Amino acid sequence: MSRADLVVVANRLPVDRDDDGGWRTSPGGLVTALEPVVRRTRGAWVGWPGRADLQIDPFTVDGIDLVPIALSADEVASYYEGFSNDTIWPLYHDVISAPRYRRVWWDAYVRVNRRFAEAAASSAAPGATVWVHDYQLQLVPSLLREARPDLTIGYFHHIPFPAYGLYSQLPWRRQVLEGLLGADVIGFQRVADAGNFAACVRRLLHYETKASGIRVPTADGGSRTTLARAFPISIDAAAYIELAQRPEVQARAREIRESMGSPRTVLLGVDRLDYTKGIRHRLKAYGELLSEGRLQVEDVTLVQVASPSRERVDAYVQLRDEIEQTVSRINGDFDTLGHTAIRYLHQTHPREEMVALYLAADVMLVTALRDGMNLVAKEYVASRIDNRGVLILSEFAGAADELGMALRVNPHDIDALKQALMRAIEMPGAEQGRRMRALRRRVVDNDIDLWSRSFLDALEAARRHKEDA
């Protein structure tokens, strides 16, 4: 395999194993965004193939060179489920669930980050650009810079970056900041995340920050600048529009409504089953509206898709139990033989089905307690080619910075959430149209392609700046 001018490094490879042992590209947003650039530049992608103890040589799928990183079962438990998903994830989401700080997990995190960095270093051509993704790989930028000072390194952080008061809990808080600062460009979802990061750097490392630049001292006594700013991620809006235009998807949307007894209002929630998504708060508000008689099951149904996630992490096992108990209590209290309060689907569905659900839903509920961006909000908006439907959007989701015409809520305020629900259910068509048109313009004009281009442009500017220096 030849060395590449563009190397993407992410926890997962962009492929899934199919039943006959072959590989096909997985359909996620990041893959859609990066695949064309990686293919065009004959680039490489470094990542874990998704199964423990799988030792495979680099291979090529659809013109992309894939460099698999092997993880033992123990490393999956310590680096991935442990440090990434039981330490960093809860800490960076404002400690909604208590982070666990275990030294053996940290050791595994360092070891695995080193493995990713070594693979990236040997895949990159002289002077190449490397784009590292997300919280599982925060040490890779500096490890890579040590090994290959000729590279231009970018890092994008898909989840929030917490305020100093929380971040400072992390026993390895300095190492993680130093790890990230190995990058030339660090991208965050929100301006506030970039601000939190810069504040942590000032307070813990005492480096100087100016606008979006951070002055990082170098071994020779000089310094270099790392750019840390917001690059809000988006979706492949055209792909959602295309799906929403398909007659069979529209027919499916009608069928979904009919199968529920054609209620006047369909409410929808689509989330990975995660404690950051505010599913319990949403159920609480909805349950209260039913018990106060302000809503009736004959008129309204809530469809909650909760796709299975991190099922071996304790906090997720507990959350699933709580949610399922609440759903069955609400359904037990309010269902009739012909109507049900909540259709709960602990399943994943093909993307066509998701778009049919978006089209079938009068009200989309995004009530995250903390969320980097929340792509579901943008997908709902892009799919509503009929300019109908209402988006209820938590102010704690990154998407709230851009989607100002949504009904903004603080999901902790259950009364406000109930009010927003009633307002959405009763919103006249003209107001829905006005809001939805503005929302759609925003998402269509700022799609995933623009996102990846602006990040890569910033990296290119950093590369030229280094050459000139």
- Looking at beta carbons only, is 141 or 160 nearer to ligand GDG? 160
Distance CA(286)–CA(280), nearest Å, equals: 10
Residue choice 10, 159, 290, 313 for contact with ligand GDG (CB under 6 A): 159
Distance CA(184)–CA(462), nearest Å, equals: 7
Q: Tell me: does residue 354 bind ligand GDG (CB under 6 A).
A: yes
- Looking at beta carbons only, is 82 or 398 nearer to ligand GDG? 398
> What is the smallest separation between the CB atom of 272 and ligand GDG, expressed in angstroms?
5
> What is the smallest separation between the CB atom of 132 and ligand GDG, expressed in angstroms?
14
Residue numbers 296-315 binding ligand GDG by CB under 6 A: 305, 307
Residue 34 has φ and ψ, to the nearest 5°, of: -95, -25
Residue choice 171, 328, 348, 404 for contact with ligand GDG (CB under 6 A): 348
**What are the strands of the beta sheet with 4-12, ordered from one edge?**
59-61, 64-68, 44-48, 4-12, 124-133, 152-156, 185-188, 223-230, 213-217, 208-210
Residue numbers 12-71 binding ligand GDG by CB under 6 A: 29
Tokens coding 354 = 């998701």
From the list 158, 274, 362, 447, the catalytic residue is 158
Residue choice 196, 225, 301, 374 for contact with ligand GDG (CB under 6 A): 374
Residue 348: C-alpha distances to residues 245, 306, 351, 383 (Å): 22, 8, 9, 18
Residue numbers 215-254 binding ligand GDG by CB under 6 A: 233
**Per-position b or e across 3-41, b if 16+ CB within 10 A of its CB:** ebebbbbbbbbbbeeeeeeebebeeebbbbbbbebbeee
Question: Residues for the chain: how many in total?
Answer: 469
Distance CA(112)–CA(81), nearest Å, equals: 13
- Looking at beta carbons only, is 130 or 373 nearer to ligand GDG? 373
Best CA proximity match to 135, nearest among 167, 165, 104, 103: 167
- Looking at beta carbons only, is 200 or 303 nearer to ligand GDG? 303
Distance CA(303)–CA(345), nearest Å, equals: 8
Is position 158 annotated as part of the catalytic site?
yes
Is position 371 annotated as part of the catalytic site?
yes
Beta-strand (E) ranges in 265-406? 265-272, 300-307, 342-345, 363-366, 390-394
> What is the smallest separation between the CB atom of 429 and ligand GDG, expressed in angstroms?
26
Distance CA(342)–CA(287), nearest Å, equals: 10
Q: Tell me: does residue 351 bind ligand GDG (CB under 6 A).
A: yes
> What is the smallest separation between the CB atom of 430 and ligand GDG, expressed in angstroms?
29
Q: Tell me: does residue 264 bind ligand GDG (CB under 6 A).
A: no
Q: Tell me: does residue 158 bind ligand GDG (CB under 6 A).
A: yes
Q: Which helix (H) or strand (E) holds 239?
A: helix 237-245
Residue choice 327, 376, 421, 424 for contact with ligand GDG (CB under 6 A): 376
- In sign, the C-alpha dihedral spanning 57, 78, 81, 167 is negative
* Interface region with ligand GDG, contact rule CB under 6 A, candidates 64-72, 178-186, 289-297, 348-356: 348-356
- Looking at beta carbons only, is 12 or 145 nearer to ligand GDG? 12
> What is the smallest separation between the CB atom of 233 and ligand GDG, expressed in angstroms?
4
Binding site for ligand GDG (CB under 6 A): 29, 158-159, 233, 270, 272, 305, 307, 348-351, 354, 371-376, 379
> Which positions are catalytic?
158, 371
